[in-house]
Amino acid sequence: MGYRTLAATLSGVAVFTLSVSAAYVIWSKGGNGSGLYSRHWSPDSVQGYWDPDNFYQPSKSVEGVFEATLCIQCHEGITPGIVNDWRASRHARIDEPVYCNDCHGSNHQQLHLPTPVVCGNCHEKQHGEFRDEARYGFPSHVLAMERAVDAPHFADKPKAEVQSCVQCHSVATKCDSCHTRHRFSAAEARHPEACITCHSGPPHPDDESYFASAHGKIYRAEGKDWDWSKKLVKGNYKAPTCAYCHMDEGRHQVAHKSLWKFGLREVNPHTSKNQLLREQWIELCSDCHEAKKAAQWLSELDRERKSAWAKLYRAEDVLKNLRSNDLLRPAADERPDYPMGSFWRMERIGFFEGQASAFYNVSALERDYFEMWYFDNLGAYKSAAHGNPQGVDEGHRRMAATLERIETKAQILRHRSETEQSVIANPAVTDLWMKGKYTDFNRTHN
């Protein structure tokens, strides 16, 4: 068991190191996929729209090289909506309009979908800020795609579900996740809806927690009458939206003010760096609130986090203790040989062992902990951060319930005979992943 613990720790360190460096390596375009694990997956065709630079294949149905006026003339009949959008956009109304072919090219059989680099040709400041997020590691928008394809579960999860992840992670590869085509409006992107296209649902209920907060509900009731052409500076909006706080003054860089790292791992609130960030937040909140209140609110968040980590660490201890006594079954080396299985055969208990990849092919107890950590904990955090009190209660209530379930199961495991343990532990998982239609299907389709 000592070996396993050591291996886990080492692998944990390895993951951490790899993932830090991965941001700066050029992806190997080996096999069909891209990224570190490119040999282990192949892209679905629709991936071309989510990662156009790597995978988009233009239609070959129309031949010819077209001038902008011809693009518009033809598409006015075929897809009038996008032409309307363009006409209503600033692109069409400036002195030297930005036409279709400026972004897509002119040869209809070689059309491309504009990446942030293309947009950055004109919008240099915004693109620079966007790229600058990489300095802060992950989570960040600019690394969202490569970190998705570089996570072991990208190859291990059933592809239908992976595709769901990638759909949002494509925010790294195209600007119209927030400024929808073909109006590309700044006013639109200032609306909270621009963000929550992706930031909703577990594990990141920013949607749910903002809209259920006092801020969000003022927006819901009155936002329809606000002047969204105004800049995101104090005095312009009665209540803040996502962008007001996270992209203050329109800065396209969301990562630099991150205080608690998404709730994914514990953060020491007393480091000098954290204190500096905290002052930035307090200044921002002071656009409307007493500074003292902002500081107190941040302390409440520290308290909430402390309470959450008390529960999470306790669950982690229980699991690690079971592992030391060889009671966590199926153990990593008893699990099916998944795409990434041989490379990554270890338990994943806690952030530093790659817990974020524990979606599948783990013991039931690891999975319980995964859900407690990734869904309930993050839900509580987001709710606390956005001022949605019910979400805090809900998250903590669920965490407490899961912790109790984990402790009960662990206690039963310790009291049972060996024969019984092998049955009760979680035989279903072994069976589920070892054989049968489901596993076979996944194995051949990732």
Indicate which single residue of 139, 202, 250, 336 sits in contact with a copy of itself (rule: CB under 8 A): 202
Three-state DSSP class for residue 335: coil
Indicate which single residue of 100, 212, 254, 328 sits in contact with a copy of itself (rule: CB under 8 A): 212
Determine if 270 is a binding residue for a copy of itself (CB under 8 A): no
Question: What binding mask, one character per residue, do residues 345-384 give for a copy of itself by CB under 8 A, x or -?
Answer: --------------xx---x--x----------------x
d(CA 293, CA 93): 45
**Closer Cβ to a copy of itself, 12 or 395, answer by number:** 395
Query: Looking at 17-25, 133-141, 320-328, 389-397, which segment touches a copy of itself (CB under 8 A)?
Result: 389-397
**Peptide bond preceding 203: is omega within 30 degrees of 0, i.e. cis?**
yes
Determine if 326 is a binding residue for a copy of itself (CB under 8 A): no
Indicate which single residue of 2, 3, 24, 59 sits in contact with a copy of itself (rule: CB under 8 A): 59
Three-state DSSP class for residue 107: strand
Indicate which single residue of 93, 121, 124, 438 sits in contact with a copy of itself (rule: CB under 8 A): 438
Q: Backbone dihedral region of 250: left (phi > 0), alpha (psi from -120 to 50 degrees) or beta?
A: left
d(CA 91, CA 99): 7
Tokens read off for 240: 């803040």
Query: Looking at 80-88, 94-102, 245-253, 328-336, which segment touches a copy of itself (CB under 8 A)?
Result: 80-88
Residue 280 Cβ vs a copy of itself, minimum distance, rounded to whole Å = 17
What stretches of 325-388 show up as alpha helix (H) in DSSP? 364-371, 378-386
Determine if 403 is a binding residue for a copy of itself (CB under 8 A): yes
d(CA 383, CA 389): 7
Q: What are the φ/ψ torsions at residue 107 (nearest 5 degrees)?
A: -80, 110
β-bridge mates for residue 107, sequence order:
65
Residue by residue, DSSP assigns 389-443 as: HHHHHHHHHHHHHHHHHHHHHHHHHHHS-HHHHHHHS-HHHHHHHHSSHHHHHHH
Determine if 98 is a binding residue for a copy of itself (CB under 8 A): no
d(CA 169, CA 429): 29
Which residues contact residue 25 at a Cβ distance below 8 angstroms, ignoring those fewer than 6 apart?
A: none
Under 8 Å between Cβ of 219 and 241: yes
**Closer Cβ to a copy of itself, 29 or 289, answer by number:** 289
Residues 145-164 close enough to bind a copy of itself by CB under 8 A: 158-161, 163-164
**Closer Cβ to a copy of itself, 107 or 134, answer by number:** 107
b/e map 120-145, b = 16+ CB within 10 Å: beebeebbebbbbbbebebbbbbbbb
Indicate which single residue of 20, 25, 291, 434 sits in contact with a copy of itself (rule: CB under 8 A): 291
Determine if 23 is a binding residue for a copy of itself (CB under 8 A): no
Indicate which single residue of 193, 316, 366, 376 sits in contact with a copy of itself (rule: CB under 8 A): 193
Determine if 406 is a binding residue for a copy of itself (CB under 8 A): yes
Query: Looking at 66-74, 120-128, 139-147, 196-204, which segment touches a copy of itself (CB under 8 A)?
Result: 196-204
Query: Looking at 17-25, 64-72, 114-122, 406-414, which segment touches a copy of itself (CB under 8 A)?
Result: 406-414
Determine the straight-line distance between the first and last CA of the chain, rounded to whole angstroms.
Answer: 32
Residue 88 Cβ vs a copy of itself, minimum distance, rounded to whole Å = 9
Helix axes 427-434, 364-371, angle to 10 degrees: 100
Under 8 Å between Cβ of 233 and 239: no
Residue 353 Cβ vs a copy of itself, minimum distance, rounded to whole Å = 20
Residue 289 Cβ vs a copy of itself, minimum distance, rounded to whole Å = 8
